[in-house]
Amino acid sequence: SENDEYNKSERETSTARVPECNPAPEPIKRKLKLRSTFYVFIFYPKSLISAWEEFDKQFQSENDHPRIFNSYQHYLLLAFEDGGTDLEKYVSNISQAYSIIYQVITALSVAEHRLSFEHRDLHCGNIMIKNVEAYYADCKINLLTHGVELKIIDFTLSRMSKGTSTIFFDLAKDNEIFSGENCLQFDIYRAMRKANMNNWFPFYPVTNVMWIIYLVRYVYDSLVNKNIGSHRERQIFIHHFRDLHRFGNSHSFISLHSRI
């Protein structure tokens, strides 16, 4: 079976609890830790400009060159833990491909339940991955990490609620994001807008499912392009997630696949 194919390799286990089974507020470790913050009002340091240019030379940054800012610019610096490599540059084997997708689904499931959370921008550049060897001691959902740990970043467009407070970014005021072409990422933005009728305040967890579908397709295409695994293994992978579009939230999917 599909699951047997996935379970063949040696297990390295990361875990999380399904919210309905465990109402206690245990955190799920799928976001980067913020180490410190700084408010800065200085000239942009030459060393940082050089670092930015070196990064741009190697990876072609999508951000503006820091030289566009004048000497009166104020900056907020956020220092995070090292999250590893983004998904754009990291897909190495079939087992890790399953693990990456299930770690995303589990993290979103918990966040949906606890914070009525939607990420709304979960493209491949916002998934950070690093190699790990540690075992995690929890017991409800066993995820086969296969040596990789995933972190989700960039909550600029996200929506979440706690108590009577709701935080969200009103994408109705940013039409440019919906105008991209020839890329599934931009199709997802438009699909979200259609699902919530361009009202970005309410909670529509189906948007998380849309991004999971995007990530499955992205990982599958990476496997094909890099010729990772056999043709049959790649087909089993994409077939395993074939019914994602039938679910209205992440939790309902993970509840049916809590033992993979």
Give residue 132's pLDDT: 66
Q: Check residue 257 and give its pLDDT.
A: 75
Per the prediction, the chain carries an average pLDDT of 83
Question: Does 42 fall in a domain?
Answer: yes
- Quick check: is 121 in a domain? yes
Structural domain that includes position 71: 35-80
- 129-163 pLDDT, tens digit per residue, is 887 654 444 444 445 567 778 899 999 999 999 99
β-bridge mates for residue 16, sequence order: 141
In a domain, 41, yes or no: yes
| 253 and 132 within one domain | yes
- The reply to whether 75 and 87 lie within a common domain is no
Q: Kindly report, residue by residue over 159-179, the tens digit of the pLDDT.
A: 999 999 999 999 999 999 999
Q: How many domains does the chain have?
A: 2
Catalytic residue ranges: 121
Q: What is the pTM of this model?
A: 0.78
Check residue 12 and give its pLDDT.
38
**Regarding predicted confidence, which is higher, 59 or 143?**
59
Q: At residue 232, does pLDDT exceed 90? A: yes
Report yes or no on 115 lying in a domain. yes
Q: Give CA–CA dist 105/211, Å, rounded.
A: 10
Does some domain include residue 4? no
> How does pLDDT run across 6-54, given as a tens digit for each residue?
444 333 333 343 344 333 344 445 667 888 998 888 788 889 899 999 9
Cα 54 to Cα 48: distance, rounded to the nearest angstrom: 10
Residue after which a domain boundary falls, among 80, 102, 136: 80
Residues 106 and 233 in one domain: yes
* Shared domain check, 128 and 50: no
pLDDT value of residue 225 = 93
pLDDT at 105 over 60: yes
CATH number of the CATH domain containing 129: 1.10.510.10
